[in-house]
């Protein structure tokens, strides 16, 4: 029983360790040549690493918008990559691709015809010729969005609080007025009742005499 457990653990870890050396799903691999072209691949379908012995990678003619950070790092034998014919988004996410294409000197034969599809103002531009300012202009940092959202939330909460305070104030005023009226009518009715009783008493007295 213990042996079986140990064996399955070893097997599991063995498989896990080998994960990066297997051919990525939906690509064809042949002696270090990983061909993932013309497969309608999106960026989320890319593996986190290619097999360590990879010499050539074809990623052209897919639906890639972003090259995952580090995807083509740690491949000492890599000498050629194709990346054209994708939907590269030239915002913050393009920085790794841009760094890869402009890295000098590079031992890898890198394609020159990698161009942006979005944002519209950078559409058709070559990724390697983008300036850092151009790229950073289209960065949407999540913590900026978070700060904005929390500011809006804070404002809404304060507004609600002010409205609630106003409502409480209005109700208190109304309650005060109502209770004052109630007190007054009570005094009036009792005064009226007393005077009625007094009149009746007088009338009774007079009828007796
Ligand atoms: C890669 O695969 C596609 C189809 O899956 C094929 O058309 C293309 O010729 C292949 N590229 C190379 C360099 O083998
Ligand atoms: C881009 O360059 C590759 C070679 O690196 C070539 O095969 C391909 O036809 C070129 N594509 C365009 C659109 O220029």
pLDDT, tens digit (0-9, with 9 covering 90-100), for 41-65: 999 999 888 998 999 999 999 999 9
Distance (Å) from CA 114 to ligand 2 centroid:
9
Give residue 6's pLDDT band: very low, low, confident or very high (50, 70, 90): very low
SS3 assignment, position 143:
helix
Question: Is the C-beta atom of 61 inside 6 A of ligand 2?
Answer: no
**Average model confidence (pLDDT) for the chain?**
83
The topology (CATH level 3) of 23-139 is 3.80.10
Angle at 60 between CA 115 and CA 21, to 5 degrees: 125
Pocket test for ligand 1, best of 24, 34, 38 (most atoms within 8 A of CB): 38
Convert the pLDDT of each residue in 141-173 to its tens digit: 666 677 788 889 999 999 999 999 999 999 999
Question: Is the C-beta atom of 53 inside 6 A of ligand 2?
Answer: no
Is this prediction's pTM over 0.75?
no
Question: Is the C-beta atom of 108 inside 6 A of ligand 2?
Answer: no
Distance (Å) from CA 104 to ligand 1 centroid:
28
pLDDT at 189: 72
- How many CB atoms lie under 10 A from the CB of residue 43? 18
**Which range, of 8-12, 55-59, 163-167, 189-193, averages the lowest pLDDT?**
8-12
Give percent of the chain above pLDDT 90. Answer: 47
Pocket test for ligand 1, best of 58, 85, 109 (most atoms within 8 A of CB): 58
């Amino acid at each position: 029983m213990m042996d079986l457990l140990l064996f399955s653990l070893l097997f599991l870890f063995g498989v896990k360790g080998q994960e990066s050396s297997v051919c990525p799903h939906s690509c064809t691999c042949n002696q270090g040549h990983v061909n993932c072209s013309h497969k309608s691949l999106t960026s989320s379908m890319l593996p986190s690493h290619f097999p360590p012995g990879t010499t050539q990678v074809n990623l052209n003619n897919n639906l890639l918008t972003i090259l995952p950070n580090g995807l083509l790092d740690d491949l000492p034998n890599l000498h050629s990559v194709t990346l054209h014919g994708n939907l590269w988004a030239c915002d913050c996410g393009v920085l790794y691709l841009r760094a890869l294409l402009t890295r000098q000197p590079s031992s890898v034969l890198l394609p020159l015809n990698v161009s942006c599809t979005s944002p519209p103002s950078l559409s058709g531009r070559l990724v390697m010729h983008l300036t850092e300012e151009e790229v950073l202009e289209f960065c949407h940092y999540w913590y900026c969005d978070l700060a904005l959202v929390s500011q809006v939330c804070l404002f809404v909460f304060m507004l609600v609080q002010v409205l609630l305070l106003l409502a409480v104030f209005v109700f208190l005023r109304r309650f005060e007025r109502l209770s004052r009226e109630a007190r007054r009518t009570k005094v009036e009715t009792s005064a009226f009742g007393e005077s009625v009783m007094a009149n009746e008493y007088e009338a009774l007295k007079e009828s007796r005499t």
